[in-house]
Amino acid sequence: MAEQGAQVTSPGFTYRLLSTVLFPFWLLHAWQHGRRHAEHDYLGLRLFPGRSGATGGRIWVHASSVGEVRAIAPLVRRLLERGESILFTSFTATGLQTIRRDFGDTLASAVIPIDFGPVCRQFLLYHRPRLGLVMETELWPALLHQAARRRIPLLQVNARLSSKTLDTGPFTRDLLTRVLGYFDRFLARSERDRERLLRLGARAEDVCVLGNIKSLRDESPPPARLVERDYLLLASSHAGEERKFLRWRENRASDALIVIAPRHPQRGDEIERDIAAARLSCARRSHDEPVTEQTDVYLADTLGELRALMAHARVVVMGGSFDDTGGHNLIEPANLGCAIVTGPSDAGIRDDIKMLGEGVIQVGDMHQCWKTVDDLWRDPARATRLGQRARERLAQQPDPVQAYLDALEPWLTPPASRSSQ
């Protein structure tokens, strides 16, 4: 962040103009999103944080959606145990619902404002946080600019940047460089992420590598089963991956129900057409359609249920690894003891693959993927051993949350001050 008394660089005229043009569309998206997830005050919360001032001086923790909320939750619990007062925000309605369900009234919960200057100012004036912890890549330029202007220290938790981010055009790269300038400290996952942050202008003394906060062993019981039949899961898939997955199946694991949980559930209609083109029968969870013995594919086009779907899958194939995305979080299925198969695109998960070792199978293409899936499906004991190895490798990792808590110490309330509150 800029030095005390120095001018804080704005996101720039182009972004201000862009946010003004997009504002009506953001409003429409918020309204539709709230309706879709039965969170009818979602739009209002993104525009108006409240009528009377909230209790100021809280630590503001922000995470995008359910997965990120769950990942940073252990750190939030440690902060609460220390007596800190927390404002926990999410971008999605399902993230907000997860916060409310898991934390109740032990903290304040909200969604972040629409990224438009006047709305962001109102949010910060209402909540008046004293510290901001932003999980991973939730980099909203207007909101973070307003926080930096108010001299609210900002720390990026589990900080990461993909290789694709470094290859973006001049406008996006310049905007990212400005946004990174609003942070006081970057608590990075890996040396690779540290190097990328430095290439975008972060100062070396402001970046420290603490490891992946998601690698904490999760001992909580698995969620209830959502699908009664045995199934294999294609998780967090992207456009084109579902079509490729179905096309290469041939006769492998022919008795298996395929469950597809796309990264972006709004693609449900498109994926249903791909399933029909493959001449397979489909039931959609968003339409409350039942799974029968005749169902070939169950399309789980919903948010907030991926962990429950992973927990009871016989095999989990991770999406985002058969295109140029670079893979998705392997720690969550590893924590659940899943038999995990991931593809060749691994730019964002190489450290996870190395850490899990023999607890994950990486394949070179979709043909090899289906051969591996078929082997695991026909040999449940081997699938179980694969999942057990993943959990064992996680159990061997040091406690990442304590490392993050130690790094936050300079910004936390001293014990004497907490006891007098």
Q: Which active-site residues does the annotation give?
A: 68
Task: Report the distance separating Cα 76 and Cα 74, nearest Å.
Answer: 5
Tokens (6 digits) for 401: 């949350």
CB 267 within 8 A of CB 234: no
**Three-state SS across the chain?**
CCCCCCCCCCCCHHHHHHHHHHHHHHHHHHHHHHHHCCCCCHHHHHHCCCCCCCCCCCEEEEECCHHHHHHHHHHHHHHHHCCCCEEEEECCHHHHHHHHHHHHHHCEEEECCCCCHHHHHHHHHHHCCCEEEEECCCCCHHHHHHHHHCCCCEEEEEECCCHHHHCCCHHHHHHHHHHHCCCCEEEECCHHHHHHHHHCCCCHHHEEECCCHHHCCCCCCCCCCCCCCCEEEEEEECCCHHHHHHHCCCCCCCCCEEEEEECCHHHHHHHHHHHHHCCCCEEEHHHCCCCCCCCCEEECCCCCCHHHHHHCCCEEEECCCCCCCCCCCCHHHHHCCCCEEECCCCCCCHHHHHHHHHHCEECCCHHHHHHHHHHHHHCHHHHHHHHHHHHHHHHCCCCHHHHHHHHHHHHCCCHHHHHCC
Backbone φ, ψ for residue 86 (5° rounding): -120, 140
Q: Which of 356, 302, 309 is nearest to 334 (CA)?
A: 356
Task: Report the distance separating Cα 75 and Cα 2, nearest Å.
Answer: 27
CB 152 within 8 A of CB 189: no
- According to DSSP, the residues that pair with 22 across neighbouring strands are none
